[in-house]
Amino acid sequence: MYKKILVTLDATPTDRAIIEHIKELARALHSRVVLLHVADGWAARTHGPDAISPEITKDTAYLHQVETEFNTIGIPVEVELAYGDPVTEIIKWIRLKGCDLVAMSTHGHRFIADMFLGATVSRVRHRITVPVLLLKAK
């Protein structure tokens, strides 16, 4: 059913909800997982893949740490680090590389906070045709 699952990560504790859920789902469905994080700091937005910064070093290490978790339990996984606006980059990745399911954790903000904080989840899910699995962080 879901052969390729894209898991978007923001490198915060919010990710744990979706990571743990996808481990079980991917194992049950024999899915391949792609972990995507979009570096969106000044260096990432300005220099893209050529950027060098503590943020990008930390993001890369984080992705590989989560990759190891999936590898340890036998789930095929790959990691991708994109650069720039998270909404734009997630949508671009889905359109270019394709997947059967997009999995995202939500921060659980409501109306006013979403308006001010950007609500990546809402902006992404309205611009793609792939099913989206949303889990609210604990």
Q: pLDDT tens digits, residue range 4-31?
A: 999 999 999 989 999 999 999 999 999 9
Q: How confident is the model at residue 109 (pLDDT cuts 50, 70, 90)?
A: low
Maximum alpha-carbon separation in the chain: 41
Q: Is the dihedral of CA 97, 100, 104, 109 positive or negative?
A: positive
Per cent of the chain over pLDDT 70 is 91
- Which class is 4-136 in CATH? alpha beta
More confident residue, 77 or 137: 77
Instruction: Parse the chain into domains and list their residue ranges.
Output: 4-136
Task: Write down the pTM of the prediction.
Answer: 0.88
More confident residue, 2 or 138: 2
